[in-house]
Structure 1
């Protein structure tokens, strides 16, 4: 049961972050989503979009902590750490 809750938090955080990234990109960009992501990658700003999109996990995390769903919160922390590694990789290479 614990692993299932952690996985649910991980997947929820991933889906929420991707949704946030898509919404921000569609709202703020004049081109299509695919072109926007390609341009951000070549401009070395894709990490910035990922970090802004991942901010949506903060309220989800605090709601889960308030409801004492610690395993779910752990999944959110793990996806956040994954994003940190991904952003670091994108900034270096």
Structure 2
């Protein structure tokens, strides 16, 4: 049960990052979603987009904490730290 809850949290973190990225493109871009994604890839701004999308992980984290599901919140935190670490390494090298 313990590992299952952490995996649910990790999957939730990944899904909320994707949803957050799509929402950011939808609300703050002048173009449609497909054109916006092409522009992001063209200008190598994918890391910035995913980082902005990861802000939605805060909502998932606090939701799980509010519902006393600490292991799921831990999973969301794990994926957020992994994303930050990967983009930090990519930025440095």
Q: Which runs of 4+ in 1 moved over 4 A?
A: none
Distance 1:90 1:46 in 2: 12
Q: Structure 1 residues 56, 88: closer, same or farther in 2, change over 3 A?
A: same
* CA displacement 1:18-72 (0-9 Å, x = unmatched): 0110121123223343442343244342222111111111122112122221110
Name 1:54's counterpart in structure 2.
54
Distance 1:90 1:21 in 2: 19
For normalisation by structure 2, the TM-score amounts to 0.81
Q: Give the unaligned 5+ runs of structure 2.
A: none
For normalisation by structure 1, the TM-score amounts to 0.81
Name 1:77's counterpart in structure 2.
77
Q: Structure 1 residues 87, 42: closer, same or farther in 2, change over 3 A?
A: farther
1:86 CA displacement = 3.0
CA RMSD in angstroms, aligned pairs only:
2.0
Size of the aligned set, in residue pairs, is 93
